[in-house]
Amino acid sequence: MLSYDHARQKVIEVARARRRAPATELAELGQAFDRVLAHRVIADRDYPPFDRSTRDGFAVRAQDVGARSGTLEIIGEIKAGDTFTGVIGPGQCVQIMTGAAVPPGADAVVMIEHTKPSKTRVVIERAVEPGQNIVPRGSEAKASQVLLETATRLGYPELALAAQVGEHRLQVFRRPCVAILSTGDEVVRVDEIPGPFQVRNSNGVSLGVLTALAGAEPVPLGNAPDRAGPLRGLTERGLEADVLVLSGGVSMGKYDLVEMVLRELGAEFFFDAVAIRPGRPTVFGTCRDKLVFGLPGNPVSTMVTFELFVLPAIDILGGAAPRPLPFFRARLAAPVSQRAPLTHFLPAQLNWTTGEPVVSELPWQGSGDIVTLAAANCFLVVPQAKLELAAGEWVDVFPRRGMF
Ligand code: AMP
Ligand code: MG
């Protein structure tokens, strides 16, 4: 059975091989957050475009003051945005504001706090180094330099950078469409009153939200009963999207028909089990040239396996690089012990109250228990290779999306 990282690698490999250059669309900067850039962004000029003062103070010639203090003649004033035509000569200076261009002749700015100005003269009270409090022209970026590469995911600094260079609209890759189909005779719509042994379709909701958070367009297809005919019909509809994600019907039960129906439709499978809990019976394949995931129906399994396996596929089809799993290390509060030789993802609480990250497993009822997951802010990862973890050990933590 594949480990989760090998299974992930497989998904990445298959998604890359199937990736067609996604179509692009134009997005206003305000609408482009988290989209994937479809071209490079180039510096339209040097940044900063002039030698920029980083302080309110006086623009001086360092050599006039040097290691001593000194008195200089004030020959003018420069605000941010001003053009100053004069040249600073020996013994002269100009009052300057933050963000203004340092005038020719000056090579340092002295903070106002280190001076004693009068009307026409100023006493500089500290030693002055050439270059101090000046960001030289072109030191952040040179004109024509590539600032953002194609395939960059656009966060707030990237959008601010695009704005800075005047790209008020960006070409971004079209979001991939992800069809979401749950299965199960016992599953009813969330606005229905379930019978005593029925469950509401919570997976439709979690998968829709996770899909949107991943940067794709969810196409909700509702629920298919555990009968080959209707399941086949809805599966075929799902194959019109870029990715089809099914939930349920992938275990060994008599009515777990997803793999069979997909096989009849010509699917090729790359794995149908992964050495994880929850989520072991996860199925991944291609069908009619589309990526198909059959995720186990237990709600926590569905969410964990989406994050582990579907997310990198969406990244790739959306024109980006697959985001790495954002694992980090935390100290374990109490010992943890698992029996099954699988990598376990246990709902857990992470806190920093002692100044370092400490993680505590939450008692839970297994992969159907969304009540506990909603009280967790992360998964504690118990690796297959080490099922007994002692209190105080550093362990892997997989944050719940949006929690940190
Ligand atoms: P399955 O993977 O089909 O064997 O389903 C495993 C468990 O998950 C069963 O207890 C189902 O009732 C539950 N389940 C399946 N699909 C959903 C769904 N869409 N929403 C909530 N629970 C589900
Ligand atoms: Mg089922």
pLDDT in tens, 252-262: 999 899 999 99
Contact of 122 with 93, CB cutoff 8 Å:
yes
- At residue 229, what is the residue type? G
pLDDT band, very low/low/confident/very high, at 283 (cuts 50, 70, 90): very high
In the CATH hierarchy, which fold is given to the domain comprising 52-135? Molybdopterin biosynthesis moeA protein; domain 3 (2.170.190)
Q: What is the mean pLDDT of residues 23-38?
A: 97
| pLDDT score for 233 | 98
| pLDDT score for 180 | 98
If residue 214 lies in a helix (H) or strand (E), which one and from where to where?
helix 202-214
Q: 181, 298, 367: which to mutate for ligand 1, most atoms within 8 A of CB? A: 298
The predicted model scores a pTM of 0.94
The residue whose CA has the least distance to atom 20 of ligand 1 is: 201
| pLDDT score for 70 | 85
Which ligand ends up closest to the CA of 281?
Answer: 1
* CB distance 133 to ligand 1 below 6 Å: no
Atom of ligand 1 nearest to the CA of 201: 20
If residue 331 lies in a helix (H) or strand (E), which one and from where to where?
strand 328-332
Q: How far, in Å, from the CA of 184 to the mean position of ligand 1?
A: 7
State both tokens at 9.
Answer: 């690698």
Kindly report the CA angle at 36 between 32 and 37, in degrees rounded to 5?
Answer: 85
Which ligand ends up closest to the CA of 185?
Answer: 2
* CB distance 300 to ligand 1 below 6 Å: no
| pLDDT score for 83 | 86
* CB distance 278 to ligand 1 below 6 Å: no
Domain ranges in the chain?
A: 4-22+175-317, 30-42+146-173, 52-135, 328-399
Q: Is residue 320's pLDDT more than 90?
A: yes
Atom of ligand 1 nearest to the CA of 253: 4
| pLDDT score for 120 | 95
The residue whose CA has the least distance to atom 14 of ligand 1 is: 297
Cα–Cα separations (whole angstroms), residue 218 to 135, 213, 314 = 46, 10, 11
How do beta strands 199-200 and 187-188 pair? parallel
Which ligand ends up closest to the CA of 250?
Answer: 1
Contacts of 358 (CB under 8 A, 6+ apart): 330, 331, 332, 333, 350, 351, 352
Q: What is the mean pLDDT of residues 390-398?
A: 98
Q: What is d(CA 68, CA 206) in angstroms, rounded to the nearest whole number?
A: 68
Q: Is residue 67's pLDDT more than 90?
A: no
Q: Is residue 197's pLDDT more than 90?
A: yes
| pLDDT score for 92 | 96
Q: How far, in Å, from the CA of 20 to the mean position of ligand 2?
A: 33
Q: Is residue 199's pLDDT more than 80?
A: yes
The number of residues making up the chain comes to: 404
- At residue 224, what is the residue type? A
Closest-CA residue to 287 (of 249, 251, 237, 252): 237
How do beta strands 108-111 and 57-60 pair? antiparallel
SS3 of residue 92 by DSSP: strand
The residue whose CA has the least distance to atom 17 of ligand 1 is: 297
The residue whose CA has the least distance to atom 3 of ligand 1 is: 248
Q: What is d(CA 97, CA 52) in angstroms, rounded to the nearest whole number?
A: 10
Q: What is d(CA 170, CA 92) in angstroms, rounded to the nearest whole number?
A: 47
Domain 328-399 indexed as CATH 2.40.340.10: yes
4-22+175-317: CATH architecture? 3-Layer(aba) Sandwich (3.40)
pLDDT in tens, 121-169: 999 999 999 999 999 999 999 999 999 999 999 999 999 999 999 999 9
- At residue 250, what is the residue type? V
Contact of 267 with 316, CB cutoff 8 Å:
no
Contact of 159 with 153, CB cutoff 8 Å:
no
DSSP 264-313: HTT-EEEES-BSEES-TT-EEEEETTEEEEEE-SSHHHHHHHIIIIIHHH
| pLDDT score for 21 | 82
Cα–Cα separations (whole angstroms), residue 300 to 22, 202, 214, 279 = 31, 10, 17, 8
| pLDDT score for 165 | 98
Q: What is d(CA 225, CA 143) in angstroms, rounded to the nearest whole number?
A: 60
Direct distance between the N- and C-terminal alpha carbons of the chain, in angstroms, rounded to an integer? 32
| pLDDT score for 275 | 98
pLDDT band, very low/low/confident/very high, at 363 (cuts 50, 70, 90): very high
Q: What is d(CA 330, CA 88) in angstroms, rounded to the nearest whole number?
A: 57
264 vs 67, higher pLDDT: 264
